[in-house]
Amino acid sequence: MYTRFLSILVLGFSLLPFRTHAQDFVWTPGLQRSYADLQKLKLQAARQVLVKESSQNGIRIFLDDYADMLALVTSDDDRLFANMSDREDDRLEAIQALDSKSPWQRVMQAEVRLHWAFVKLKFGKELSASWDVIRAYKLLTANQKKFPDFLPTYKSLGTLHIMVGSVPDNYVWVANLLGMRGNIKQGQQELERAQQDANFGLEANLIDLMVRAYVLKFSDADGRDLHRLIADNRDNLLLHFFGATIEQKNGHSEQALAYLTTRPTSPAYQSMPVIENILGDIYLQKGQYGTASSHFEQFLNTYKGQNFVKDSYYKLFLCHWLADGQNTRVPAFQPSDAKARAFLQKVVTVGRTTVESDKAAQKFAEAYLKQGVSPNQNVLMRARLASDGGFTDSALAYLRPYNEARFLSTAEKAEYNYRLGRIYQRRSDVDAAVPYFIRALALSEAYDGGKEPLSFGATAALQLGYIYQQKNDRSRARSFFEKALSFKHHEYKNSIDNKARAALSQL
């Protein structure tokens, strides 16, 4: 009788929906397809697959979170963020309840934390984002020690080591205090390892290229690698978008435009209003003010967030200010000084100043509305925009009729020299660029026209560092990178310091 009861009991347990730890982290074919769709920004298709997968699979939890992150960062929608913000803790708890002996458990927790760190930064929650980054770092370093050959660990750990390695000297003690250590070379080697992973390889490849563009120095070889990556993934909207932002950042706006005009555009892809802002930037650099204006207006009409709003109104101001009195060949675009000033007044009343472009727009608007600008600023702005886009023939043509004596203020003299240095540098004539950068640096150091130093000193010093690094003159390169770090409180300090610190670590 007892034996029969025990047999029935065992049979009963065997029929219960019992889940083993072996099923806690499984990349099913459906989840692999969903992840591929998410990387292309096909969010709706990815979510349709996810709902059919087990909600107790840690990979599915990670992908649900990835989809939410993409929806939030592409929309910048504050209401959507408020509705979703409690999902981070729910997903972390769900993953923590899964098999702690799996190499995936800590990695998935870290990925969720990094998703939300990125989201929080976009929505101005810097302190909370910082704690997520610190916790993610600790999870990944623990996983590396426990499972040193597990490749997925190295995608985000390598990225974090690069970030730590590019921290300015005066903040290194903070990273050390928080137990975060690393350097750029180490991080790059880890990203190379991660690119061998079957699932995370494509994402690790893209991160590596973005690090080269935004932290290090983007080379022609890197540009060719980026081009091949996009050519091999023509249906990937995310790659086209990041490819455009990378090339625009590095003064190749014509190539950026090519990536955007050939991007996939079907309704299957997530809407990205920010692409209109980027297109507006490119046409502004090309001097096609009417076309640029239409793209900025389209962005403002469809975008629900607060980032890049100041920047877009500032660029609309530039379209009207620079085109006033010109034949723009766009009948609907009628520039005037009054319209230009109205757009600038909007800059100081809308949006927020989380991103650097919005901070720069706010600073320009406040200065212009308070005291106006000299007529020389118009030609300097034309040269700056054309040079930033890589249209150096146009940029040089704008400045050729001028010399330093034509500019009255120290700030304008410094900018004039910096612009010429940058133009010649982009034209690969670095010997012609050097004296202009040195002059811009000297004028910036002598400037006493306000509380904030001129950013041209820091940017000129950074470019001089790159030039002498390329010449293999390590001593001069180091001195100029250190000089770039010495400038305080200018509007581009974060990005300049990151690049200078990264370059010093390479030396």
pLDDT in tens, 450-467: 556 778 999 999 999 999
Mean pLDDT of 406-425: 93
Q: Is the pLDDT of residue 10 over 90?
A: no
pTM over 0.95: no
Rounded CA separation 493/500 (Å): 10
Q: Is the pLDDT of residue 329 over 80?
A: no
Question: Domains in the chain and their CATH numbers?
Answer: 24-261 (1.25.40), 274-372 (1.25.40), 402-507 (1.25.40.10)
- DSSP summary character for residue 404: G
pLDDT at res. 17: 37
pLDDT at res. 452: 64
pLDDT at res. 15: 38
- pLDDT, tens digit, 9 for 90 and up, residues 265-313: 999 999 999 999 999 999 999 999 999 999 999 999 999 888 999 999 9
Mean pLDDT of 371-388: 88
CA distances from 217 to 33, 401, 438, 506 (A): 34, 32, 20, 11
Burial zone of 451 (CB within 10 Å; 0-12 exposed, 13-18 middle, 19+ buried): exposed
Q: Is the pLDDT of residue 491 over 90?
A: no
Please give the residue that has the higher pLDDT: either 495 or 429: 429
489 Rama class: left (phi>0) / alpha (psi -120 to 50) / beta: left
pLDDT at res. 67: 96
Average pLDDT for the chain: 87
Work out the number of other CB atoms within 10 angstroms of the CB of residue 364.
20
Task: For residue 449, name the pLDDT band (cuts at 50, 70, 90).
Answer: low
Please give the residue that has the higher pLDDT: either 174 or 56: 56
Task: For residue 4, name the pLDDT band (cuts at 50, 70, 90).
Answer: very low
Rounded CA separation 487/494 (Å): 11
pLDDT at res. 8: 34
